[in-house]
Amino acid sequence: GAVVSQHPSWVICKSGTSVKIECRSLDFQATTMFWYRQFPKQSLMLMATSNEGSKATYEQGVEKDKFLINHASLTLSTLTVTSAHPEDSSFYICSARDRAGWNTDTQYFGPGTRLTVL
Amino acid sequence: AQSVTQPDIHITVSEGASLELRCNYSYGATPYLFWYVQSPGQGLQLLLKYFSGDTLVQGIKGFEAEFKRSQSSFNLRKPSVHWSDAAEYFCAVGVLGGYNKLIFGAGTRLAVHP
């Protein structure tokens, strides 16, 4: 149980185009989803937190207009990288959680999406 | 500010040897601490977590971790490493408030020699 999928697993796009990445919780309802960015050989940096039906909360330094997050249902969140540039190339990881408390919940992570912008 | 430090970027051990991965945290309140493992092509998997109570926490795959408040540490241990344990290991601290987010350390890459 508690499986999170991401699609696509990898994507290559031209500079200036937009790319959408999907994150799905397959066997549970996720009231909260998180989007991370991971640079090569580095840690995960939280980009934003999204709650179903409300606007995403972005971390300091993350451009809201560049990284659009939509959490339209309890099983789906999308991250759209708008007008992508080579510096946006990275590994994007989502996670999902179905409870607000720490004792019974945990974050379940997707396998990640490798974005390469040419 | 909250932070997590994993001093060892890369560790190599022989199969069957014991393992200890270090993690130090900075957090103003009682921390919620986690260890995750990341294997190529797979999502991060939770190994274990500490919320309260017994400071020695048992996890999956034979891993354990000990919370030491006086040292602000949460080191991960395994008595006998298997080749399949080769992966990237991340320590994280949970930050309460809002949506309870995680702050990750830089990670330790573990290589296992046969």
Task: For residue range A6-61, list pLDDT tens digits in order.
Answer: 999 999 999 999 999 999 999 888 888 999 999 877 889 999 999 888 889 999 99
Q: Which two tokens stand for residue B92?
A: 């994280």
pLDDT of residue A40: 79
B77 sits in which H/E element: strand B73-78
A44 CB neighbour count, 10 Å cutoff: 27
Whole-number pLDDT of residue B34? 93
Average pLDDT of the segment spanning B98-114: 88
From A34, A111, A52, select the one nearest B94 (Cα to Cα).
A34
At B110 the pLDDT is 97
**Is A111 in contact with B98 (Cβ distance < 8 A)?**
no
pLDDT of the residue at B7: 96
Element (H, E) at B37: strand B32-38
CB B35, CB B44: distance < 8 Å: no
Token pair 């019974």: residue: A104
Contacts of B100 in chain A (CB under 8 A): 100, 102
- Cis link prior to B31 (omega < 30° from 0)? no
Burial of A33 (0-12, 13-18, 19+ CB in 10 A): buried
Q: Is any Cβ of chain A less than 8 angstroms from the Cβ of B28?
A: no
pLDDT (mean) for B80-105: 88
Half-sphere exposure of residue B100, counting CA atoms within 13 Å on the CB side? 17
Scanning every residue of chain B, which has its alpha carbon at the shortest distance from the alpha carbon of A37?
B104
**B3-17, pLDDT tens digit by residue?**
999 999 999 999 999
How confident is the model at residue A11, as a pLDDT? 97
Written as six digits, the tokens of B73 are 């540490």
- First CA to last CA across chain A, in angstroms? 37
pLDDT at A102: 55
Tell me, what's the pLDDT at A42?
A: 80
Size of interface A-B (CB pairs under 8 A): 53
Q: Tell me the per-residue pLDDT of B33-87, one tens digit each, with 9 for 90 and over.
A: 999 999 887 788 999 999 888 999 999 999 999 999 999 999 999 999 999 999 9
Q: Is B100 in contact with A109 (Cβ distance < 8 A)?
A: no
In the predicted model, is pLDDT for residue B97 greater than 70?
A: no
The distance of B6 to chain A (nearest Cα, Å) reads 10
pLDDT for A28: 84
A37 to chain B, closest Cα gap in Å: 12
In this prediction, residue A103 carries a pLDDT of 53
pLDDT at A99 over 70: no
Q: Are A94 and A77 in contact (CB under 8 A)?
A: yes
Cα separation values, A110 from A2, A33, A78, B65, Å? 10, 11, 13, 24
